[in-house]
Structure 1
Amino acid sequence: MDGLWRQWVETFIGTRSRHLAIDLATGEQRQTLAELGALAAGRALARAGESAQEVDAIVLGTATPDTLMPTAVNVIADRLRIDDVPTYQLQSGCSGAVQALDVAAALLGGGAVRTVLVLGGDVIAKHYDVTADLAALPPAELVNYVLFGDGAGAAVLTTRDRPDAPVLRAVRTRLAGLDRAPGQILNWYGLADRNSAVAPAAEDYKAIEELVPVLAEDVIADLLDDLGWDRGEVDYLLPPQLSAVMTAKITERLGLPSAKEVSCVEHTGNTGNALLFFQLEMLLETMTAPARAVAAAIESSKWIKGGLALELT
């Protein structure tokens, strides 16, 4: 990327660096979602002091699986040498990380499992033509070339007593797309349409810019109401990470006066379902008791608002 494009990206998107799972010179894929997911899972298990054999279930949220079948979650399980446990893969955009945590919390609440490995990740660069002339692309396609990065993250949820770890107080995810046109489309090509002139991905960035802050505000307000927390009692905010520029606007709008922002999109790009896990990793490095944290993640494809609340006592 030449200096002019880099300046444009930093000004309008706010991204200073990102990682892609392809070779930009050849377009060859270097890492798969399953490979990144297995690496993230290994780190999360080690940090939690858990072994793969102690995992009772696995849940993955992603919008960009390596293949339709086998599912990436099962390939990851195989890489971790995990078998004979329930596995779930949720096909979702940026809210998929919250949805995966919601499923994990429900499994733990049922009492049948004690430890769930939760993952989120996306490898979106494989959908793009690295030889494309960016100057010739319409804005709806161009933004996808400069907005996203690739990555995977993971967390371990358990009912075991862990006084050093924050407690997941609430998870909330709601569809909000009735009568709303999709804000993002990501196509999957087969033999019948691989030569289609339809773009692999497109965004209605204006709709996203207008609606994501509203949905983020809604879900944070709902979480606080459900828990009876005052806005001044929130110590950390993990805002939606569409871009650094939008994150700043959303954080200001949410109006949490005492909350420290936990963001990474400036350095990672928008990594979709991995981002929330990157934020959680940053949070765990700084969070000291007593503290409360809230997070929001919004999917713009058919508009899903998700969020969660953590507390360290």
Structure 2
Amino acid sequence: MHTPDVLDTRILSVGTALPGAPVGTAELARRFGMDALWEQWVDAFIGTRSRHLAVDVATGRQTATLADLATEAGRRALDRAHVEPHEIDLLVMGTSTPDQLMPATVNVVADRLGINDVSSYQLQSGCSGAVQALDVARQMLLTGRHRTALVLGGDVVARFYDMTADLSALPPEQLVNYVLFGDGAGAVVLTTEPAPGTTTLRAVRTRLVGLGREPGALLEWRGPVDRNPGRAPAAEDYKAIEKHVPLMAAQMLDETLDEAGWTREDLHHLLPPQLSGRMTERIVAHLDVPTAAEVSCVDETGNNGNALVFFQLERALEKLGPRERAVGIAIESSKWIKSGFALERD
């Protein structure tokens, strides 16, 4: 539970970046030769109206890298916080799709932003990676060794797509990826310095709960030696996700509230997991927090992985009034990680 004499971690700003204009389901259907029934299936079972892709749908050419998007998001966050690059002394990034194995994308972004002589970390993780990055940054700030952190998160999944694929021949666990995911990046500036009128990060939790469970999501990283055409580059076990995610989200909501010393009745806003539009609707209904207004974005941005939390945060900070509270939850299905964080406006 928070007590006044404990050092606070405050959110000074949020910045986000999307690659280009939204791509609607109808545009994808035309590109891949799918019919109106496919569009209806996407609307009924996925519920994501649009997504932003770092690949030109017409040509298959990549139009933006993760470093491009993260740099844009980071620069916006720094500008909004009125923080200069030399004032940052800690960088943490969460992603499942780094541009390269080396150098780490976080360090490429630091170079582009003019940040140097700092501690930097890159976490390899799915949707919970953004919360893991917040957790690592917060814990390091609370030691007193660092004062101001730039926390980044994002993914570019579209570069794994085969834009020449015959979608009608793909199994459901591969087909769903073409409509489920989008690309993007986000950034948050955190500080332990006094900053009246800002939002405080009261609690952050991440828990691996994948013991004995088969992965619910797969994203390959291959080189010329280990390429195997028999293995799909990306796949989702959507049935397992539908089964486990609502329960894990409810568990993490209770755990995060307990850590913050709050009850469900104390919540004004809820940032639920953002797998897809329809899944988010089911999760919100399962969580049953009638006092909290939902803060979601996935039906517009697509599931852009580690960027989602930042897009939700950006919207939440616009809505939070004085003394209002919010809880965010992210669930990673690759090897089942549940995570959550608690916010309170001064």
TM-score normalised by L of structure 1: 0.98
SS at match of 1:296: strand
Secondary structure at 1:37 match in 2:
helix
2:243 aligned residue = 210
Q: Which residue of 1 aligns with 2:267?
A: 234
- Alignment of 1:89 with 2:122, yes or no, is yes
| Unpaired runs of at least 5, structure 2 | 1-28
Distance in 2 between the 1:232 and 1:261 partners?
A: 14
Q: Which residue of 2 aligns with 1:295?
A: 328
Instruction: Find the partner of 1:35 among 68, 76, 86.
Output: 68
- Alignment map for 1:70-89 (pairs within 5 Å): 70-89=103-122
Whole-Å Cα distance in 2 between the matches of residues 113 and 104 of structure 1? 9
Number of residue pairs matched by the alignment: 313
Task: Using the TM superposition, give the Cα deviation of residue 228 of structure 1 relative to its aligned residue in structure 2, in angstroms.
Answer: 2.2
Map of 1:182 onto structure 2 = 215
Match of 1:275 in 2: 308
SS of 1:177's partner is coil
Work out the percentage of aligned pairs sharing the same amino acid.
Answer: 62
Write out per-residue CA displacement over residues 45-73 of structure 1, whole angstroms, 9 at most, x where no aligned residue: 11112111110110000000000001100
Partner-residue secondary structure (3-state), 1:247: helix
Query: Helix, strand or coil: the match of 1:298?
Result: strand
C-alpha deviation, 1:285, in angstroms: 1.3
Q: Does 1:201 align with 2:237?
A: no
Alignment correspondent of 1:257: 290
Query: Where do residues 38-53 of structure 1 align in structure 2 (5 Å cutoff)?
Result: 38-53=71-86
Q: CA deviation at 1:137?
A: 0.6
* Structure 1 Cα separation of the partners of residues 39 and 158 of structure 2: 18
Instruction: Write the deviation string for residues 127-179 of structure 1: whole angstroms up to 9, x where unpaired.
Output: 01011111111001011111000000010100111112110000000000000
Q: 1:10 matched to which residue of 2? A: 43
Shift of 1:247: 0.3
Write the deviation string for residues 179-220 of structure 1: whole angstroms up to 9, x where unpaired. 001001111110113352211011111000110111111111
RMSD of aligned Cα (Å): 1.0
CA-CA distance at 1:8 after TM superposition: 2.3
Q: Displacement of 1:227 after TM fit?
A: 2.2
Residue 135 in structure 1 maps to residue 168 in structure 2: yes
The whole-number CA distance in structure 2 between the counterparts of 1:60 and 1:311 is: 23
Q: Distance in 2 between matches of 1:43 and 1:262?
A: 21
Residues 247-256 or 264-273, more deviating: 247-256
TM-score (norm 2): 0.89
Pairing 1:101-180 to 2, within 5 Å after superposition: 101-180=134-213
In structure 1, the gaps of 5 or more residues are none
**Letter matched to residue 42 of structure 2:** V
Q: Which runs of 4+ in 1 moved over 3 A?
A: none
Equivalent residue of 1:155, what SS? strand
Matches of 2:80 and 2:281 in 1, distance apart?
30
